[in-house]
Structure 1
């Protein structure tokens, strides 16, 4: 008994150490895979924004390392992205890269303000249909971004991509100790070097930086004119960056069955963008593709995000010769896997079973995002459509019934349900003001007035009835509705009877 007791603490300690270091190994390997996947994206986004490749690469390093400490969603990857790059094009072309750095700092300040204002709560207004459309659209965009590497290339490139996909999907059946994408990149790099294959490598994507990023303030005049130039771009960058980051955080939440702090993510994104600009980087946000790679590889902690940024820096500065020979086909295979895994295939089967408005919202979100290549516009369209359909559904829940008194002198209208801007016209149209009765009773004891449109409809009915010589009694207003009518209505001030519900 004594020996068992004395051996228990070391056994528990060993178990904790195995869990800790085993977990760290997965996080580190996942981060390495992500670092490699970041390279073509960062360079490509730099080209989109019209800046030197090092601006996107430095941004990816700095943002990933910073957000690992400041972000609200562990294991999510943030770096330079296409969503922000497209916003920068005109600013860089018209005013230069220093204005881009200044706009990125202002972008970060706006995002920090959004965090303090707790705007992360706005995510609750994004419906599941919009989320699904967002995910599917991103999957399509990720695949379309690989098309330059799939068209007009040598047969060897197709062979490498096919082999890479076979390894990615087949290696997990052998072992999950090492992320399959990392194995695919290593195998394809070795095979390319051994066979001297004539295929595109990372060195063909653009000049890689050979020095560490250095601290510097943007060289722009600190004037109101500068602020006037920067503010529209910074506000758009902040909004797009937060929208994509919060949506990606929600997706990672769902994939890992864990929660995240959306308001802290706003603060973290702002801090990361400010630091990025101070070290010569462009603005960025969360990346769903790389986040999916990270989580799919088993990462769940902040360590993987930090390793992604740190290892990318190591590749750029110390292992540049090794990085240069990595075939682009290997990275293309990884991104095709991301596209396949990101797309919600179940959503296609559910098109027949889901309510028609939900399917319309999902498809509209996908169509607008893919057509415009702008995630913010697509999600905004989806949210607006969701609101329209929801308002129409709630409006149909209101009912108006009427009865005539035995003597034919009084018409009573009984209103139930929700009266607001979408149902206000239905409410006023249902009351017949031409009927030759002496008195109207509007019983709203089973209804609720939500906004000034509802109050205006009630005013219109009561005042027009009085103009025609009829007395009107409004009865049964609940306390909230009565307060709204009292504050914004006019008919009760002109002598019509409005009785609260008791």
Structure 2
């Protein structure tokens, strides 16, 4: 990496350093309750999630493919590993996380990042909206069974977050909100929940250690299914988040490098006693809206979190949860695509249906992967249905017999429309012109076979003309009755 490239990716001026540092500090504070909460979900000590967030954020800032994106311990991975920790213990979690990282690096080698090309805009919009709803819902437990002071602090925090930028943008308003509310809460000894109430914060620095598990085939059998699921879920959420940050910043990311970077970061996280993780859209939105655009902000998020845990743990533990709830509500509001509501009438019904199904499945299952999978499958079904309707067969008669003109894409979804258009010709010569058609799969070839066989049983002489090269190759390879004769320049049917 040249020095100019380094400056471009990390910082270009003192103003960049200041802005990126402040954005990273905001993110570090927002990571603490999330990491503790995800640790609790997994059934492990809070330090496992916190150390993972430190390691992943720092490592990904160097080797990731998307500047300013935040990666750390996440709920998507935490939910997957809960049974593993319960049945086999924390050391197996660390081993599974290392194998997860290996799979993600392998995914980069195999270019599985290209799968993102098959995720439609409607699915991405549904993913974003569902995540915004989940982020908001995750704050509700902090607003139940509490005194009016918590609601007042949340309202005050939101007021600072949205009104301060009208006066000045020198300091990120979420950071100001956290500091001001913390000072008020501590000074007045308000009866509100604090970060320390969520779990015991670790003291000291993490240390490197290999997982204490037997190196046997039995261990591999136990962790393999979990590692595969963690790797898939982590990459899916990371690549979708990268696409969202691309859109927010109007820049491009290196998806292949991001896959490998996620793998390397998870391996390091496991070696320092952390759980697996991936990109976090909520914290990434906080970073971008706070001014983060470079790798420096991601590094500062991890490094400052490490500083807080090692040095300022008691102070961090006194930060009021309403302050962080206000920040996360801001993230939920900013993440939700409000235009998508207005576009429900303007966009095609199929696109709106895909978006709504993605949202519904994610919110119902709290599983982003299931929602995206449902959206992608529904998009594919709608697309196939649309292409199916574009196939047409025109029949004309003349002195030389009957001519069928086939136009459009002939594949598994359209073969019924094609075959049903051919009539019994009672021995009349038949010419099938496919010059405006394309055969995509063996279903299309099979349909042509069926048509030719049926017409011949009725005594017709059948000739097929107009194959393109790709269709001819497919027919020559898989047709049962005839070959195209494409190489000879004739079509002997």
TM bracket, shorter-chain basis: over 0.9
Alpha-carbon shift at residue 469 of structure 1 (Å): 2.5
Counterpart-to-counterpart distance in 1, 2:304 and 2:193: 22
Question: Contact 2:427/2:461 (CA < 8 Å) preserved in 1?
Answer: no
Matched, 1:262 2:255: yes
Superposition map of 1:161-180 within 5 A: 161-180=154-173
Superposition map of 1:413-424 within 5 A: 413-424=404-415
> Which SS does the other structure have where 2:300 is aligned?
helix
Which residue of structure 1 aligns with residue 206 of structure 2? Answer: 213
Alpha-carbon shift at residue 321 of structure 1 (Å): 1.6
Which residue of structure 2 aligns with residue 128 of structure 1? Answer: 121
Q: Deviations over 1:29-75 (max 9, x none)?
A: 00000000001100000111111111000000000000000100000
Counterpart-to-counterpart distance in 2, 1:83 and 1:126: 19
Counterpart-to-counterpart distance in 1, 2:102 and 2:418: 46
1:486 to 455, 476, 482: 476
2:279 to 266, 280, 286: 286
1:81 to 74, 89, 96: 74
Which residue of structure 1 aligns with residue 292 of structure 2? Answer: 299
Alpha-carbon shift at residue 373 of structure 1 (Å): 0.4
Which residue of structure 2 aligns with residue 427 of structure 1? Answer: 418
Alpha-carbon shift at residue 388 of structure 1 (Å): 0.8
Superposition map of 1:230-245 within 5 A: 230-245=223-238
Which residue of structure 2 aligns with residue 393 of structure 1? Answer: 386
Q: Deviations over 1:276-316 (max 9, x none)?
A: 00110000000000000000011100000010011111111
Question: Contact 2:60/2:262 (CA < 8 Å) preserved in 1?
Answer: yes
> Which SS does the other structure have where 1:384 is aligned?
helix
Q: Deviations over 1:401-446 (max 9, x none)?
A: 0012247xx22110011111111121111111x3323322111011
* TM-score of the aligned structures, taking structure 1 as reference length: 0.94
2:265 to 255, 262, 272: 272
Counterpart-to-counterpart distance in 1, 2:296 and 2:360: 36
Show structure 2 runs of 5+ residues with no match: 1-10
Moved more, 93-102 or 484-493: 484-493
Which residue of structure 2 aligns with residue 339 of structure 1? Answer: 332
> Which SS does the other structure have where 1:146 is aligned?
helix
Moved more, 347-356 or 398-407: 398-407
> Which SS does the other structure have where 2:482 is aligned?
helix
Q: Deviations over 1:112-136 (max 9, x none)?
A: 0011111111111111000100000
Counterpart-to-counterpart distance in 2, 1:385 and 1:158: 41
2:216 to 220, 223, 234: 223
Alpha-carbon shift at residue 19 of structure 1 (Å): 6.0
Q: Considering only aligned residues, what root-mean-square deviation do their CA atoms show, in Å?
A: 1.7
> Which SS does the other structure have where 2:355 is aligned?
helix
Matched, 1:462 2:455: no
2:106 to 108, 113, 118: 113
Alpha-carbon shift at residue 468 of structure 1 (Å): 2.9
Counterpart-to-counterpart distance in 1, 2:154 and 2:29: 16
CA pair 309-449 structure 1, distance change in 2 beyond 3 A? same
Superposition map of 1:370-449 within 5 A: 370-406=363-399, 410-432=401-423, 434-449=424-439
Matched, 1:369 2:359: no
Which residue of structure 1 aligns with residue 179 of structure 2? Answer: 186
CA pair 19-485 structure 1, distance change in 2 beyond 3 A? closer
Question: Contact 1:115/1:266 (CA < 8 Å) preserved in 2?
Answer: yes
Counterpart-to-counterpart distance in 2, 1:500 and 1:32: 71
> Which SS does the other structure have where 1:491 is aligned?
coil
Show structure 1 runs of 5+ residues with no match: 1-17
Aligned residues: 481
